[in-house]
């Protein structure tokens, strides 16, 4: 028998790293705000170091109580929530939650919100000094209490104003998170880009409602809540598709992602990265499975770098 | 705390509308304490989307097989069929693959062994009390007051008795045991055993009445609560209850999944809990 030299087949793993607004992520997968607490809640189930980034629960200037219960309700392939943005407040976050997050080998993106322009600006200013904070994600799906409760993100002018103001307060990468509850999302996307957003993430939840037919009461104490989960994915993909054509800043896709194929849809329409929300509740290991799945997909398709996939939609 | 992909060892109806499921769960003996719960993923496909929370009834172990299979540690849950998820669970069979997240939350504090222990429960509220009773009987005198609307709500009586627990049954319609509310029985027992401590789990109106009696008697009380849950690990903030001293200016929310489901009575804001209970479509 002739000697056959065993050649080690070098299977080259695809490059998974992406860059968004100067943030270097080892892969394009991160949690969606409000579904991953402050990171530590999921540490027993998932190695947080493997995530592209960590995105915190939305923070406000002062601690926020949130809504009455019931705050959640399951719907067909989705859920409604009206948590009411309960959070510990920016100062407690910096003292009590940041030390844990600083140990994680992944950029920390802090989600924040306000009910006035000034509040937004002040939270951004406080976070600007915190070294462990890699970037900010600004949730503009909040009512402006000084303007009859109109949601900042539903009016291009209001969105432009508040993002411009925040832009002046921070040198950190600023991601603006859009609400889908608008007539034409391209208008708000353009407005926030023009106001200085370094990146755009979408979608936040779609407003929805469910009724208990026996008691004839709304299922949520707040009556109306935000719909998330697999049920919203086609809408989210469509909105991301529309936004990437409109803006030149990078886009992060969110909405109903629970498997690698779901994430791929967003990348193909043009998102540079994705956030996983409700799926974390169903499977605490969901993001790890998605990261593996993305890598395997690239490998099988002969894609050397995941960035090659972004925006490859054939129409 | 772990997320297991595991299998069902058995799944049977034990009373009309109640089923008992045995699930392979290595390591639970060491990890789980009485009062903790699990999040059960009903099936890998959708719907139902969210996991369902269930208390741990007991932990057991099947001895090693002669063919060399190791010990099989398992948990048992008892569930009432009430909706989409439990309807699917009822159809599951031995060998079916499921996912289990747990053990979760904070369980009961066992307290001073010399004290009398009174457990109060009804319906599925009896579930977490079994594992608690198993522990308590090792050191203390344990009495269990079981109550419910009718005889269907009284489950696992003989099993509790086999542990050496003194059981007292009452039903509102008198179909089993004494006719009336379990709280009347509690009132009498506390007069007889004023130094007892109380552990309760059941429908919110019952828990609330128990709290009033215990507060009046200055009796230490621990309660196990139910809440609608999405994550089970303290991340979604869907399952909160108002803690003692809560106000809008100084919110003191506690997560039922993480800080509970068992709370010492003094941790909670009872005025507000009553109102919340009325809101909670889930509470039976
Ligand atoms: C800590 C804890 C321990 C529990 N232990 C037990 C137990 O040992 N045995 C048992 O039979 N039941 C127990 N329950 C209640 C059990 O979780 C619900 O009966 C079950 O989730 C109903 O699911 P379903 O899909 O059949 O009902 P559906 O009404 O179709 O469920 C819809 C949604 O509401 C939620 N939900 C409905 N009822 C309740 C409820 N009472 N509490 C919490 N969520 C609810 C479901 O999880 C689901 O998200 C416990 C609940 C909690 C919070
Ligand atoms: C329980 C819950 C809490 C949320 N809290 C926030 C929040 O604080 N800030 C925010 O910008 N988005 C919040 N969201 C929206 C998510 O970040 C995400 O945009 C949305 O859920 C859609 O993604 P999904 O379908 O993957 O869940 C929350 C969603 C859920 C389900
Ligand atoms: S169930 Fe999510 S915080 Fe308790």
Q: Domains (ranges, CATH) in chain A?
A: 18-68+84-206+229-309 (3.20.20.70)
CA distance B85 to B90: 9
Of A81, A88, A91, the residue nearest A129 (C-alpha)? A91
Identify the burial level of A109 via C-beta atoms within 10 angstroms of its C-beta, where 0-12 means exposed, 13-18 middle and 19 or more buried: buried
Query: Can you give chain B as a three-state secondary structure string?
Result: CEEEEEEEEEEEEEECCEEEEEEECCCHHHHCCCCCEEEEECCCCCCCCCCEEEECCEEEEECCCCCCCCCEEEEEEEEECCCHHHHHHHCCCCCCEEEEEEEECECCCCCCCCCCEEEEECHHHHHHHHHHHHHHCCCCCEEEEEEECCHHHCCCHHHHHHCCCEEEEEECCCCCCEECCHHHHHHHHHHHCCCCEEEEECCHHHHHHHHHHHHHHCCCEEEECCCCCCCCCCCCCCCEEEECCCCCCCCCEEECCCCCEEEEHHHECHHHHHHHHHHCCCCC
Catalytic, A298? Answer no
Q: How many CB atoms lie within 10 A of CB A314?
A: 4
From B91, B104, B153, select the one nearest B127 (Cα to Cα).
B153
Contacts A–B by Cβ distance under 8 A:
113
- d(Cα A156, Cα A192) in Å, to the nearest integer? 8
Sketch the domain layout of chain B as residue ranges. 2-104
Are B165 and B134 in contact by the 8 Å Cβ rule? The answer is no
Residues of A in contact with B31 (CB under 8 A): none
Q: Do A41 and B248 touch (CB under 8 A)?
A: no
* Cα angle, residue B85 at apex, residues B83 and B91 outer, rounded to 5°: 105
The closest-lying atom of ligand 2 relative to the alpha carbon of residue A58 is 8
Chain A CB contacts of B235 below 8 Å: 35-37, 41-42, 280-281
Distance CA A177, CA B97 (A): 38
- Would the CB of B226 count as within 6 Å of ligand 1? yes
Q: Which of B88, B228, B260, B268 to mutate to test the interface with A (most CBs of A within 10 A)?
A: B228
The answer to whether residue B231 neighbours chain A at the CB level (below 8 Å) is yes
Write out pLDDT tens, residues A167-216: 999 999 999 999 999 999 999 999 999 999 999 999 999 999 999 999 99
pLDDT tens series, chain B, 284 aa: 788 899 999 999 998 899 999 999 999 999 999 999 999 998 777 779 999 999 999 999 988 766 666 788 999 999 999 999 999 999 999 999 999 999 999 999 998 888 899 999 988 999 999 999 999 999 999 999 999 899 888 988 999 999 999 999 999 999 999 999 999 999 999 999 999 999 999 999 999 999 999 999 999 999 999 999 999 999 999 999 999 998 877 888 999 999 999 999 999 999 866 555 444 333 33
Closest to A273 measured CA to CA, from A189, A191, A177, A186:
A177
Residue A149 has pLDDT above 60, yes or no: yes
Q: What is the pLDDT of residue B122?
A: 86
For residue A135, count other CB atoms closer than 10 A to its CB: 22
Using the mean position of ligand 3's atoms as its centre, give its distance from the Cα of residue B258 in Å. Answer: 7
CA B88, B90, B93, B98 torsion-angle sign: positive
Q: Name the fold adopted by B2-104.
A: Elongation Factor Tu (Ef-tu); domain 3 (2.40.30)
Residue A310 burial class via C-beta count within 10 angstroms: exposed 0-12, middle 13-18, buried 19 and up? buried
Pairwise CB contact (< 8 Å): B233 & A72 = no
pLDDT of residue B67: 63
């Amino acid at each position: 028998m002739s000697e056959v030299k065993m050649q080690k087949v070098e299977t080259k793993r695809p490059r998974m790293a992406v860059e968004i607004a100067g943030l270097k992520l080892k892969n394009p997968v991160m949690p969606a705000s409000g579904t991953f607490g402050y990171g530590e809640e999921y540490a027993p189930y998932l190695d947080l170091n493997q995530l592209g980034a960590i995105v915190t629960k939305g923070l406000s200037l002062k601690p926020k109580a949130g809504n009455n219960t019931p705050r959640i309700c399951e719907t067909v392939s989705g859920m409604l929530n009206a948590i009411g943005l309960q959070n510990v407040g920016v100062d407690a976050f910096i003292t009590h939650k940041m030390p844990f997050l600083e140990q994680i080998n992944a950029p920390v993106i802090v989600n924040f919100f306000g009910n006035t322009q000034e509040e937004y600006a002040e939270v951004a200013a406080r976070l600007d000094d915190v070294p462990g904070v890699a970037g900010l994600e600004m949730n503009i799906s909040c009512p402006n209490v000084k303007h009859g409760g109109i949601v900042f993100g539903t009016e291009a002018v209001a969105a432009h104003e508040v993002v411009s103001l925040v832009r002046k307060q921070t040198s950190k990468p600023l991601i603006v998170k859009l609400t889908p509850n608008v007539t034409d999302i391209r208008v708000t996307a353009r407005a926030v880009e023009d106001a200085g957003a370094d990146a755009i993430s979408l979608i936040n939840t779609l407003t929805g409602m469910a009724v208990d037919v026996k008691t004839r009461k709304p299922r949520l104490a707040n009556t109306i809540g935000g719909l998330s989960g697999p049920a919203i994915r086609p809408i989210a993909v469509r909105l991301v598709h529309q936004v990437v054509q409109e803006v030149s800043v990078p886009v992060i896709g969110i909405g109903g992602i629970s498997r690698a194929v779901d994430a791929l849809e967003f990348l193909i329409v043009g998102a540079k990265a994705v956030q996983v929300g409700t799926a974390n509740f169903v499977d605490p290991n969901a993001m790890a499975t998605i990261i593996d799945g993305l890598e395997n997909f690239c490998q099988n398709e002969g894609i050397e770098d995941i960035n090659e996939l972004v925006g490859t939609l054939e129409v | 705390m772990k997320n297991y992909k595991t299998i069902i060892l058995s799944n049977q109806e034990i009373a009309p509308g109640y089923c008992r499921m045995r699930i392979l769960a290595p390591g639970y003996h060491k990890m789980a304490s009485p009062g903790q719960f699990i999040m059960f993923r009903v099936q890998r496909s959708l719907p139902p989307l969210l996991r369902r929370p269930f208390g741990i009834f007991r932990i057991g172990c099947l001895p090693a097989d002669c063919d060399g299979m190791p010990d099989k540690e398992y948990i048992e849950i008892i569930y009432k069929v009430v909706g989409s998820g439990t309807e699917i669970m009822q159809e599951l069979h031995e060998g079916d693959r499921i996912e289990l997240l747990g053990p979760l939350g904070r369980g009961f504090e066992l307290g001073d062994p010399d004290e009398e222990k009174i457990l109060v429960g009804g319906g599925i509220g009896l579930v977490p009390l079994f594992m608690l009773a198993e522990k308590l009987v090792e050191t203390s005198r344990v009495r269990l007051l079981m109550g419910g609307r009718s005889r269907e709500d009284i489950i696992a009586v003989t099993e509790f008795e086999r542990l050496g627990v003194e059981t007292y049954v009452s039903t509102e319609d008198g179909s089993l045991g004494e006719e009336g509310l379990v709280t009347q029985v509690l009132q009498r027992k506390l007069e007889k055993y004023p130094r007892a401590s109380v552990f309760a789990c059941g429908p919110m109106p019952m828990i609330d009445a128990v709290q009033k009696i215990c507060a009046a008697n200055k009796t230490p009380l621990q309660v196990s609560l139910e809440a609608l849950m999405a994550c089970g690990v303290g991340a979604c903030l869907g399952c909160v209850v108002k803690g003692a001293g809560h106000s809008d200016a100084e919110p003191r929310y506690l997560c039922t999944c993480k800080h509970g489901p068992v709370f010492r009575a003094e941790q909670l804001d009872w005025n507000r809990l009553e109102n919340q209970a009325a809101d909670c479509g889930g509470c039976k």
